[in-house]
Amino acid sequence: MRHLVFTLLLFSYCHIKAQQLPVRGIVVLQNSKLETGTRKYIADAEVRDIFNRANVTRTKSKGNFTLIYIGVSEGETVNFTVKKNEYFVVDQDKLKAVLGQKATVEISMAIGSQLADVQSKLFCQRENKCSERSGTAIEGKKT
């Protein structure tokens, strides 16, 4: 009887352990390499799954993080947040991953006072609605 209980516990542990799926990412300062020649990382930002299905973690000194999902199926899309005082995520679409993916998620953040300018430029690039000289949005321009 004890062997059966031990076997069942061991099987349960192995089953739960096998369901741990990581999402790896890195958080960087938007345009830091372009503006300074050096890529700057955002350390000590909080990374959290929006449904609390993974451990809450913080970015390391090189901006990297790993969220460990438990009991979530491989191939499922997960969403998370990245927060740090005075910083904001530039592109919210980057705050998701597919469990089991090999690629590292890269998230850019900007200091709050620079966010509007960065988002305007990002919008211009996506929508092709920028004046060529200034890089700012043009109202009502059609593509």
**Six-digit token string for 6:** 């031990």
User: Which segments of the chain have a pLDDT < 50?
Assistant: 14, 133-143
Instruction: Give the angle subtended at the CA of 94 by the CAs of 134 and 117, to the nearest 5°.
Output: 25
Predicted confidence at residue 12, as pLDDT, reads 53
Predicted confidence at residue 81, as pLDDT, reads 98
Predicted confidence at residue 20, as pLDDT, reads 94
Domains of the chain: 19-127 (2.60.40.1120)
Predicted confidence at residue 35, as pLDDT, reads 86
Predicted confidence at residue 133, as pLDDT, reads 43
**Residue 99, SS3 per DSSP:** coil
Q: Tell me how far apart the alpha carbons of residues 64 and 25 are, in angstroms, rounded to a whole number.
A: 6
Predicted confidence at residue 40, as pLDDT, reads 96
**For residue 29, what are the β-bridge partners?**
109
Q: Tell me how far apart the alpha carbons of residues 60 and 124 are, in angstroms, rounded to a whole number.
A: 32
Chain segment 20-31, per-residue pLDDT in tens:
999 999 999 998
Predicted confidence at residue 10, as pLDDT, reads 52
User: Residue by residue, what is the 3-state secondary structure of 24-55?
Assistant: EEEEEECCHHHHHCCCCECCCCEEEECCCCEC
**Six-digit token string for 13:** 């542990």
CA R_g for the chain: 20
Predicted confidence at residue 34, as pLDDT, reads 86
